[in-house]
Amino acid sequence: MKNEEIKMVGLIPAAGNASRISPVPCSKEIFPIGFEEGGQSPTIKAAASHLLESFSEAGINQVYMVTRKGKWDIPQYLGVGTTPDYTLAYIFTEPTAGTHQTIDLAYRFVRNQMVLLGFPDILFKPKNAFPALLEKQKKTGADVVLGLFEAANPQKADMVDIDEQGRVKEIVIKPEQTNLTYTWIIAVWTPSFSEYLHHFVSAQKTQEGLMLQGEGSREIFIGDVIHQALRDGLKVDTVLFPDGYFLDIGTIPDLKRVWNDEFQQRSELTGREELKN
């Protein structure tokens, strides 16, 4: 199947418990992060709106959010989307064993499509970064393309080691010490990785293999699955955003920065501009 024939979809895993910032009065995906200017008066902007706008700028017209029972305030607030440019659909689940399992629940809906993955509690600049990943995938034919940003706290991130061409050599999950600089925040992948992930999750659930080498019994992250796919021969490429910036509002320190307008000010003070398509 040629890439031109593959429809693009946005995918948002949102089944977590927000344990790092609990208790909160609402699901963190719709936590207020600022104001949307325009119209007669400003309106409150929810966290997930940032990612949804990024999907919209990439030309996405269908987005799936996988969330869990009990987070009914998300569809009540976001509805079918914040703009008519796309339709937002919801997949509800019981609690899962990890983000990789949450993502795989969308398999039947996205298996034949180009997936754009983002996290609703991570704000990033440039907001229109996805087109660069799509262009890299089209150019290289990679199964997965990761968007890399400088990590302020490597011990809490998926750190990515790349070669001179930007191809992934290794993904190191939450290293205690490292010389690596960049973590991945967004991703684009083809049906080949959706199939790989689905097989990984199925095998994990039935305990038929695909054990991570040397990792013991720790929690498995989606970065682990991407790294395992690399080991098994899938091609994983990257786009580096050296002037990019991100904040994880799932942590109290970064949430404070958002409230202090640091996210917007950081972009303005450094003169960063959105990537031009």
What's the confidence (pLDDT) of residue 276?
A: 37
SS3 assignment, position 26: coil
DSSP character at residue 240: E
Distance of alpha carbon 218 from alpha carbon 211, whole angstroms = 11
- Number of alpha helices (DSSP H) and beta strands (DSSP E) in the chain: 9, 13
Beta bridge partners of 64: 11, 89
Instruction: Please write the tens of the pLDDT for every residue from 73-109.
Output: 999 999 998 778 899 999 999 988 899 999 999 999 9
What's the confidence (pLDDT) of residue 197?
A: 98
Domains and CATH numbers, the chain: 7-269 (3.90.550.10)
More confident residue, 257 or 138: 138
Locate 160 and state its tokens: 């990515």
Q: Give me the amino acid identity at 128.
A: N
DSSP character at residue 214: T
Instruction: Please write the tens of the pLDDT for every residue from 171-194.
Output: 999 999 999 999 999 999 999 999
Assign residue 104 a region: left if phi > 0, alpha if psi is -120 to 50, beta otherwise? alpha
Range in 22-36, 162-176, 185-199 with the lowest mean pLDDT: 22-36
Distance of alpha carbon 205 from alpha carbon 77, whole angstroms = 34
Rounded to 5°, the CA angle 46-48-53 comes to 100
Output the CA torsion 58→63→69→70 (10° steps).
50
Write the DSSP assignment of 73-114 as a string of letters.
HHHHHHTT-SSTT-EEEEEEES--SSHHHHHHTTHHHHTTSE
Burial (CB count within 10 angstroms: exposed 0-12, middle 13-18, buried 19+), residue 59: middle
pTM of the model: 0.86
Q: How many CB atoms lie within 10 A of CB 94?
A: 9
Locate 167 and state its tokens: 């191809």
Q: Name the pLDDT band for 258 (thresholds 50, 70, 90).
A: confident
What's the confidence (pLDDT) of residue 85?
A: 84
Contact 158, 223 (CB under 8 A): yes
Q: Please say if the pLDDT value at position 170 is more than 80.
A: yes
What is the average pLDDT score of the chain? 86
Instruction: Please write the tens of the pLDDT for every residue from 202-247.
Output: 988 766 444 454 455 578 999 999 999 999 999 999 999 999 999 8
